[in-house]
Amino acid sequence: MERFDRGNKFILKTILNNDRLNAYEFYIKHAENNGYNVCGLEKFYENRDDGNKYFVLRHDVDIVSEATEEMFLKEKALGVTSTYYFRFSTIDVELIKKMEDAGFEVGFHFETLANYANEFGIERIDEISIEKVQEKLKMEIDKFEKTTNITIKSLASHGHPLNRKLGYSNNYILENESYSKYNILFEAYDKELYNKYIDSHIMDNNICFNSGFSYNENPIEEIDNKKARIVFLSHPNYWYGNNVRKVKDLVYFFSGRGKKYQPTTFKRIALGE
């Protein structure tokens, strides 16, 4: 299928409308029309051995924005569900309750290793007690569940500038660990999950960069290339904006900064990365 979702005309129209959700709707319908089960990450995880095709919707809620509810309402109207990962700083108890009531999945977007390093002024991984960080994560999970009044099944690592200094992502503390110790099923970048079950990982970006995708992979081409199990990670704030966001994106667009961006091929977040 010829892509409609790239080029200056599409990018400028998206910025001016402050809305990219029509394209998001198209990706979902394109997946369904090609025989994919569209669902959240937890449902896929629980059915990963069934041999069916999956277009898995995962959202990292990195900032507070009305876009999160707009994306949720769009999915609800389309009759699909997805997984939303909230940081402590982005928790919206009322919205999470709506998601839970509608059959959506909610998890914890954790940044425990970076927070621990920041708390104690640490910039080297060998100065950190991983056991203490793991205990901190258990306490954070408990706090997240009490704050949101839900029981979570999964976590997703969030990136932080300190992770780059340390040379380790937040999911380092869970790599090769037993998830049962944390009363969860999995972490979103689980090694076995990606090595054995996921054929393609797509991640969004600002619309000015590579027509809105961080990697070479995009929904239309990956579906048309018949990748059987696709994870589509998106951040709601890239899909629905406000006037402040419009001005910033117009500056990006006309400055040509986006054209300097060179997309890469996805590589799973792993030890030391």
Sign of the CA dihedral running 155, 161, 165, 167: positive
What are the contacts of 87-95 at 24+ separation with CB within 8 A? 87/61, 87/62, 87/111, 87/158, 88/140, 88/143, 88/144, 88/147, 89/64, 90/61, 90/62, 90/63, 90/64, 91/144, 91/147, 91/148, 92/64, 92/68, 93/147, 93/148, 93/149, 95/68, 95/69
What's the pLDDT at 270?
A: 57
Q: What mean pLDDT comes out for the span 248-254?
A: 94
> Is it the case that residue 58 has pLDDT exceeding 80?
yes
Q: What mean pLDDT comes out for the span 61-87?
A: 98
Query: In what helix (H) or strand (E) does residue 157 lie, and over which residues does it extend?
Result: strand 154-157
In which band, very low, low, confident or very high, does the pLDDT at 62 lie, cut at 50, 70 and 90?
A: very high
Query: How many angstroms separate the CA atoms of 60 and 15, rounded?
Result: 21
What's the pLDDT at 273?
A: 45
Q: What are phi and psi of 247, to 5 degrees?
A: -65, -45
Mean of the per-residue pLDDT values for the chain? Answer: 94
pTM of the predicted model, to two decimals? 0.96
Query: How many angstroms separate the CA atoms of 229 and 54, rounded?
Result: 5
pLDDT digits (tens, 9 = 90+) for 180-238: 999 999 999 999 999 999 999 999 999 999 999 999 999 999 999 999 999 999 999 99
Burial 76-86, CB ≥16 within 10 A → b, else e: beeebbbbbbb
What's the pLDDT at 126?
A: 85
- Please, which residues have CB within 8 angstroms of residue 50's CB and are 6 or more apart in sequence? none
What's the pLDDT at 166?
A: 87
Single out the residue of 156, 243, 167, 162 nearest to residue 203, CA to CA.
Answer: 156
Helix (H, G, I), strand (E, B) or coil at 227: coil
Single out the residue of 38, 81, 86 nearest to residue 60, CA to CA.
Answer: 86
Query: How many angstroms separate the CA atoms of 179 and 154, rounded?
Result: 9
> Is it the case that residue 268 has pLDDT exceeding 50?
yes
What's the pLDDT at 65?
A: 94
pLDDT digits (tens, 9 = 90+) for 97-152: 999 999 999 999 999 999 999 889 988 888 889 999 999 999 999 999 999 999 99
Q: What are the beta bridge partners of residue 109?
A: 156
- CA 27 → CA 31, 47, 255, distances in Å? 6, 22, 29
Helix (H, G, I), strand (E, B) or coil at 54: strand
> Is it the case that residue 37 has pLDDT exceeding 50?
yes
In which band, very low, low, confident or very high, does the pLDDT at 163 lie, cut at 50, 70 and 90?
A: confident
For residue 46, the number of C-alpha atoms closer than 13 Å in the C-beta half-sphere is 10
End-to-end CA distance of the chain: 35
